[in-house]
Structures are given as structure tokens and as C-alpha cells.
Chains A and B, each alone.
Chain A
Amino acid sequence: MDTTVFLIVAAVVVIGLVLVVALRDRSSTTTPARVPDVKERLAKARRSLTESLRRLGSRGSVDEAFWSQLEETLISADVGVATSGRLVARVRESRPADTQAALDTLRAAMVEVLSDRDRSLRLEGNPAVVLVVGVNGTGKTTTIAKLAHHLMGEGRSVLLAAADTFRAAAVDQLRTWAERIGCDCVAGGERADPAAVAFDAYQAARARGRDVVIVDTAGRLHAKGELMEQLAKIKRVLDREAGSVDEVLLVLDATAGQNGIVQAERFLEVVGVTGLVLAKLDGTAKGGIVLAIESSLGLPVKFVGIGEGMEDLVPFEPAAFVEALLGDL
């Protein structure tokens, strides 16, 4: 096999990338997140590699079946190989006397990963602005309806901004919810500029004296540059009007696998996510990916979606979450 050609391909790709990114540094004032992004990714790739090597080395000790069952339980809950490995390693280090002690240590370690984070909503602006983002189909619109209902239950007045002008009938979906809940909804014309809709909604909320504006956005895959740039623009417009957006909530599907981490990273970079909503936790998926996200990015899960009704949004509770995740163990 021709290794020379392969080497050349690799080298030229690498040099090409270096040059591209070097030039991009100049424009890094407008898109500051990109460069550290590369570094973090590379560092992470290395970490996961050492992680797997380390695990390999520790094989062959006592109770091997138990440890691998423990690890597989975490993995099957979408916690991920790396985070699962780290957690299991920590429990091993504590040299538990029996399996019960091991499980207790594991629970404590998991809750600790999730502890010391402010999970309350910060709604300081007047009106306060909540921007809701996520990939396609995670449940943004439904989550917004529930969140609006939740906030109104606390005595706040809410206005919804239908800035998902892309998906067919998304505006109608949000309007229907607004009618059910009994709050205002501001929408633009067909294929309106989402940033313009967000702007109008903010102005309307201020004029009408509403307490909170919740902005719905179109689902977008985080790997799509243009769409992410459009999202950044919505955020910029709102930041400019409101001083700063109070909360940027990333809605994550509980069935999401390891790609959830990349989603969180990208949305964090582009719009500065402040918290997560873990939707659809009423299914059989455990949503373990948020453990990895909380531990690597420090982003708190603020709410959990547990059904299709208006009431089905509850504050996230680490201990209950861990309990549900470990299930039968």
C-alpha cells in the first residue's frame, strides 16, 4: 500500500488547515469561538485516547465482572465511554468493601458531578429575554409552551416570539399553544427574518409591559455553519436591544447519544448557552449525556420535560436523576 501518497495527503491537509485557520484568526473578532474550538477538540481527542489506554491497563483485577457491568450500565444510559470510565475508576480507587458500597460511592460521585450549580432561571431584564435553541426535533416549541405556562403560574406575564420561520407551520404550532396557555404571540410574515421577528417581539413585550419574552428558533444541526451564524445574529439583535439575553436554553432530547456533547459545545460557542432543558425524559432513554455535558462544560440542566402536557416541565433534581439513571442496580 502506498504510504508515501498517504503521508503526502495527510501532510497537505494539515498544512492546508493550518493556513486556513491562520487566516481566520484575523476575523476572529467576529467569530471568536472558532479557534479555541479546534484546540479543545484536539485536547479532547487525546484525553479520550489516554482514557481508554488507562482503562486497558487496569484490567484483570478482582471483581472484573462487576466493574464491567457497572461501566456498561453507565454507557447504556448514554453517559459515554469516557465519563463512565472516569466514574468507575473513581469508585474503584475508593476500594469499596462490597458492591453496595461501590454503588453508594458511584451515586455520590455522580451527584457530585451535578452539584453546586445554579439551576434557577435568571430573569432580570425588563422584559427578561429567554432564547430557546437546539437541533431539529428535540422539542423546543413544546418546551416553550410548558415554560410559558410555568412562568405564568408564578404570576409573570409572557410573550412568545415565533422566530422559527423556517419549519413549515412552526408559527401555527406556537400560536396554537399561545392560545391554549393564554399568552401573546408575535410572529412575522411568511419566511420573515427570524432576527427581525425577535426584535419586533421584544419591542412588543416592552410596549405591552410583559415580564418575559420567550423566543422560539428553528431547529438546526450544529454542524451547519450558515444556520448557526443566523442564530448568532438573533442573539446579537436581542443582546443589543435588551442589554443582554437573560437565558439561552438549549433543548436536548433525552434520547440523544454522544453527539449531544458536540451539540452543547457548538451552541455554547455560538450563542453562549446558559442552561439545558432535557426533553422527553418520560421515555425509556435516561439522558445520561447531560452528565458528560455538565462535567465537561459546566452547563446546568435547569428543567426536565416529562410529557406532552403543559404541566410536564419540572425543575431538574440531581439525586432523582441519578437514581433513575442507575435504575435496577
Chain B
Amino acid sequence: MLRRWSTVVIHMFEALTERLGAAFGRLRGRGRLTEADVDAALAEVRVALLEADVHVDVVRSLLDRVRGRALGAEVMESLTPAQQVVKIVRDELIATLGTRAEPLAEGRPLVILMVGLQGSGKTTTAAKLARMLARQKRNPLLVAADLQRPAAVDQLETLGGAVGVPVFSDKSSRPRRVVRAALKHARQAGHDALVIDTAGRLQIDDRLMDELADIRREARPQEVLLVVDAMTGQDAVNVARGFAERVGVTGVVLSKLDGDARGGAAISIRQVTGVPVKLVGVGEHPDALEPFHPDRMAGRILGMGDVLSLIEKAEETFDHREAERAARKLEEGSFDLDDFLSQFQMLKRMGSLKDILAMLPGAAGALRGIEIDDRDLRRVEAIIRSMTPEERRNPKIIDGSRRRRIAAGSGTNPQDVNRLLRQFAEAQRMMKQLSGGRGLPAGAGRGRRGQTKRKKRKR
């Protein structure tokens, strides 16, 4: 088992250092971006974008724009050349996605038509949206115009009940007629917002697309929201183009973003149709609908870890002197459980380990699937906390009886304590090796630290 875990850690560091090597390795202060810098970084970026499901044509045109902007650009003081390129890519992504969150249209009554492929999440989104409108002091009405899928009306009625919004339906009618009746009903009952759920359909299904265009003419909505599954691949472009051309789309809702998909569809759709993403669905809870933030999405799509905001966050939280001391000890191999615990405390203040992990470059993609349960972390902490300071500094003194005491104190068993100690020793050894040898980027060693002290980051 020991060997297995050491391989894991080494692999992890390879992923981490390779990326970091690109990012920090050729640190040489200011200067201008050379063609080699740009090409090397863009090759990595291309893979990252394609793996995030950004459309291949969109990737190409995006990288062309970036290349143009990057060549000869000045490298900011605080960044390495590679980071500078990534920053330009990120800026370009944000510029494409829209620099701010686009609000929903106004109007009374506000009519919103939900459209999309089968299974994209229209019905769930419709209910969430109705709830959002109700919270904005509107009096919304949900309209069940999906008469295609069995029990879709029942589903909307149940969801409407759950969010406390009335649902207008008539299973025996046709969609267009349902919409007409709903508009009339809304006027009489004083509803100032309507959210119309429609049947899922393929953008190449002429009959159903005509039907949808018909519904649109009847409803005269201020918003036609295309609901797109965040897990959608390259086809997102065709879907969005189809709906935009045949029915007209005013905004996109990216659903199921609470999974681990990177959601490159967002950028493809925006680039190809010009339609902004307005909302994102982030869970099954009725409140799990949020405004879209282009900057967060850019980081997620790049998947290279949001190094800048990680460092920003870390600098706010970490005690510099303490961190320097810990780094030195890490290098010397004398980083003990006490150091780990105190650094870990600071880390926790930055947010959940999972979020931090997601911001680390390289490793993030590989480790995204590992679930880090708070309970697991508490167990680790409990064990270390049940040790005396002496034991934390020098775990070698932990014998059978100490082990039993620690286990009892932390609500675990002696084997757990043993396992943790063994792994820590192994990790310790490896950190030493890596920071001493070629492993860690040039930064872990001497010169870097001096530089760090002097440098104040500029933005």
C-alpha cells in the first residue's frame, strides 16, 4: 500500500509540476512575449478548451485572436510569460462570454418561453425560474405546454406545488391553444409573469420547430430561453444555431452545472449565435438557479486552475512569516504534523478543500472525481489533535499505548492512527525529495524566496 500511495503522490506532483513548470519555470521577470512562449502556451490551452467541449472551430478562432493579442505583448511584472498568455486567453474568454451577468428582460406581463432538446432540463428550470420571479415580488404563473412527453404536465404541477407557483394546464388541448388560454387567465388572475414550459425537440425536427415558432407568435415572449445541458459536447453549436434561426432565442440557461462538466458549450453558443448565457442551474433544489458569471465560467472552462484567485485568496489568509517557515521546513524535510495542522487550519479558512483543489492547476482535472468529505477531513484532524505536541513533533515515540490513547481520543482505531502516521512519513520523505531535486519548480529552492519577499504583486 505504501508503494501505491507514493506513486499516486508522485503522479500528482508530476501533473502539478509540469503545469507549474510551464507557468513558473521560465521566470525571467519582465519582457515581451515571444512566438515560442505563445505557441507553447497555446498548445496547452487548445487541449484544455477542447476537453472542456468548446467547439473546435470556436477554439481555432479564439486562439487566433489570442495569438494576435499575445505576440509582442508586454509581460506584466507579476506574471510569467506562460501565465501572461493564459491571462490573455482568460480575458478573451470573458470578453466573448460577456463581461457582466446579463439580466432578464423586463415587462409586465413578463412572458418567458422555455425551449430546448429533450432532457436538457426545461421543466425543472421553469419551476426554479418561477420561484425566482416570485421572490422578486412578481406573481408568476407556470404554463404546461409540453403535451408530448408522458406525464410532463404532472411533473410541472408537482414542481409548481413545491415552489408555490400555480400551474396552468389543459392536457386535452394543443400547445398553442394552452398558451392562448394561459395568457387570458393570467390577465384575469393578475399574474404579471408567465413561464411557459414546452416539449423537448430536436432542432432538425421541422414539424416540431414550426409548432414552436407558432407558440412563440402566440405568446409574444420578451424572453425565449434555450436550456442547454452543461454536459453537451460539440453539438451545442448546431442546437443553438437551429433554435436561434427557427424560433429566435434571447438567452441561454446552462443546466446541470453542479456536475463536473466544464461547460465549454457556453462559450461556443455565445460565439456562434451571440446569445448570452443568462442563468445557470446548479442543483436539484428549487433555489439552485443563479445568474451567470462570465469570469467564473472562463476559469472553469480553462480548467487550468484559477491560480490567480487562489494566490489572491491565499495571501489574504496566510500568515506570510508562518508560510515561509513552513516552506523552509518542507524543503528540509522537517515539516511535522504540527506544521501540517497549523497550515491546514489556514487552508480551511480559504474554503473547502474541494474548492481549493479545483483551483490548483493540473491536478484539478485529474482529481476532480475524488470526493473529499468533511467527515474524512475531520477524522484526520481528530487523530492529529489527539496527539500531544511532543508526539506531533516526533511521531516516532508513538508506541502501542500512545496509539491506543490517540485512537480513543479521536474516535478511531489504532490501525487508523498507524496508517495515518505511515502515510505522513511517506509524504514527508517525498516532499523533501521533490523540493530538493528536480521535482518542484525552481521556486521551492533558494533564489525564489528572496524574490518573493521583495515582490509586491501588482494587478
List A residues at the B interface (Cβ < 8 Å).
Answer: 1-26, 34-35, 37-39, 41-46, 48-49, 52, 56, 72, 75-78, 80-81, 135-139, 166-170, 172-173, 175-177, 221-225, 253-260, 262-263, 265-266, 280, 282-286, 288-289, 308
Contact = CB atoms under 8 A, between A and B. Distances in A.
A324 B235 CA distance: 14
A317 B146 CA distance: 33
B118 A280 contact: yes
Nearest to A176: B150
A297 B438 CA distance: 34
A168 B47 contact: no
B360 A13 contact: yes
Contacts of B16: 10, 14
B9 A48 contact: no
A5 B369 contact: no
Interface string B217-236: 00000000000010111111
Given A3-B448, A257-B261, 16 more contacts: A7-B444, A8-B327, A9-B347, A9-B360, A11-B335, A15-B340, A22-B420, A39-B7, A81-B47, A169-B151, A170-B155, A257-B233, A280-B119, A282-B202, A284-B235, A308-B148
Given A8-B326, A22-B5, A136-B119, A14 B427 contact: yes
Nearest to B365: A45
B340 A23 contact: no
Contacts of A15: 340, 424, 427, 431
Contacts of A256: 231-233
B234 A257 contact: yes
Nearest to B424: A19
A32 B154 CA distance: 40
B419 A172 contact: no
Given A49-B18, A56-B43, A18 B235 contact: no
Given A176-B150, A257-B264, A41 B340 contact: no
Interface in B244-274: 256, 258-262, 264-265
Interface string B420-459: 1011101100010000000011011000110010010100
A43 B152 CA distance: 43
B377 A173 contact: no
A49 B258 CA distance: 26
> Interface SS of chain B: helix, strand, loop or mixed?
helix
Nearest to A140: B119
B233 A223 contact: no
B357 A13 contact: yes
A9 B239 contact: no
A255 B420 contact: no
Contacts of B259: 135, 221-224, 259
Interface in B301-349: 307, 310-311, 314-315, 318, 320, 323-324, 326-327, 330, 335, 340, 343-344, 347
A29 B2 CA distance: 18
A137 B380 contact: no
A81 B242 CA distance: 26
A-B complex: 5 closest residue pairs judged by Cβ atoms: A257-B233, A137-B119, A168-B158, A45-B366, A257-B53
B243 to A, nearest CB: 12
Contacts of B265: 257
B204 interface: yes
Interface of B: 1, 4-5, 7-9, 11-16, 18, 24, 43-44, 47, 50-53, 55-57, 78-79, 117-121, 148-152, 154-159, 162, 202-204, 229, 231-236, 238-239, 242, 256, 258-262, 264-265, 284, 307, 310-311, 314-315, 318, 320, 323-324, 326-327, 330, 335, 340, 343-344, 347, 350, 353, 356-357, 360, 362-363, 365-373, 376-377, 379-380, 412, 415-416, 419-420, 422-424, 426-427, 431, 440-441, 443-444, 448-449, 452, 455, 457
Contact of A259 (B162, B261, B412): B261
B380 A2 contact: no
B448 A8 contact: no
Contacts, number: 318
Given A39-B4, A42-B15, A78-B234, A266 B369 contact: yes
Nearest to A138: B119
A45 B15 contact: yes
A168 B373 CA distance: 29
Contact of B231 (A16, A37, A52, A260): A260
Contacts of B118: 137, 139, 280, 308
23 contacts: A2-B320, A3-B24, A9-B318, A13-B356, A13-B357, A15-B424, A16-B340, A18-B5, A18-B424, A20-B380, A39-B8, A41-B368, A45-B15, A48-B51, A52-B43, A77-B234, A177-B150, A221-B259, A223-B369, A260-B233, A284-B235, A284-B238, A285-B234
Nearest to A72: B56
A25 to B, nearest CB: 7
A88 B385 CA distance: 55
A34 B376 CA distance: 14
A25 B377 CA distance: 14
Contacts of A41: 366-370
Contacts of A11: 330, 335, 431
Contacts of B357: 13, 17
Contact of B318 (A8, A222, A284): A8
B431 A76 contact: no
Contacts of B155: 167-170, 172-173
B311 A5 contact: yes
A302 B369 CA distance: 26
Nearest to B442: A3
Contacts of A177: 150
A7 to B, nearest CB: 6
A285 B44 CA distance: 26
B442 to A, nearest CB: 9
Contact of B52 (A258, A262, A263, A308): A258
Nearest to B1: A25
Nearest to A137: B119
Given A168-B154, A262-B369, A76 B362 contact: no
A33 B62 CA distance: 39
Nearest to A50: B18
A44 B14 CA distance: 12
A138 B118 CA distance: 8
Contacts of A258: 50-53, 233, 262
A296 to B, nearest CB: 14
Given A139-B118, A221-B256, A3 B239 contact: no
A26 B416 contact: yes
A221 B119 contact: no
A225 B151 contact: no
